[in-house]
Structure 1
């Protein structure tokens, strides 16, 4: 797994790290019991503060994605389907808000938007 951070983002670096690790877990790039890089090693690789990587790992542990085993490292926990569902729903909602913003820019009616959605859904089913 490769973590890429950018200083130009409005998202704090620790959150960028956390979000990329969560995405890797949800897409099975990282699997149950996989060992994450050590906090120090990740900080060194990304050329950032150990405090930043510590915050990312702490948040991941608090959110139930990893467990920190003292002296051994940070391991991926079994995927929690409730967490997965919430994460995906949050992404869907974010995309919908983006769609509604775009809809308002071109004065598209709700019915026109629903027609577009239905067409895309039908194309997706027939694939």
Structure 2
């Protein structure tokens, strides 16, 4: 199984955090359901072209937080997460994405009003999904 994880070398966020956050988002959104087998640390590090140490750190943090479970000799699996916790993770993920986008806009000297216009334009284009 290949996970739809996109890493950014330009991000100030460490690679292992990027991996963690994206796996959390996949779990919270239901794209990865409880009991789903995850790639091995080596397989994921190869797919993402990062070190095994980086991937291991992400998996260890996810396991410590209760998102995944590792069973010796069987593999790594998505843990059963409560719906309220999934909702919290989804909110945090979307908030973080907006914060990053707003930071980028400020770096390009956009004003608050210009940023709000951009957001409104995007929402208008999207309509009701």
TM-score (norm 2): 0.69
Deviation for aligned residue 1:93 = 5.6
Q: How many residues align?
A: 111
Q: For residues 10 and 77 of structure 1, do their structure 2 counterparts lie closer, same or farther at Cα, with a shift above 3 Å needed?
A: same
Contact 2:41 2:56 in 1 (8 A): yes
In the TM superposition, 1:27-106 aligns within 5 A as 27-91=29-93, 95=98, 105-106=112-113
Alignment gaps of 5+ in structure 2? 114-119
Give the match's secondary structure for 2:77: strand
Question: RCO (CA 8 Å, sep 6+): is it higher in 1 or 2?
Answer: 2
Deviation for aligned residue 1:33 = 0.7
Q: For residues 81 and 45 of structure 1, do their structure 2 counterparts lie closer, same or farther at Cα, with a shift above 3 Å needed?
A: same
Counterpart Cα distance in 2 of 1:54 and 1:14: 8
Alignment gaps of 5+ in structure 1? 107-115
- Residues 2-34 of structure 1 show CA distances to partners (whole Å, capped at 9, x for unaligned) of 211111111110111111111111111111111
Give the match's secondary structure for 2:37: coil
| Residue of structure 2 in register with 1:6 after alignment | 8
Counterpart Cα distance in 2 of 1:46 and 1:91: 21
Give the match's secondary structure for 2:12: coil
Moved over 2 A (4+): 88-96
**RMSD, matched Cα:** 3.0
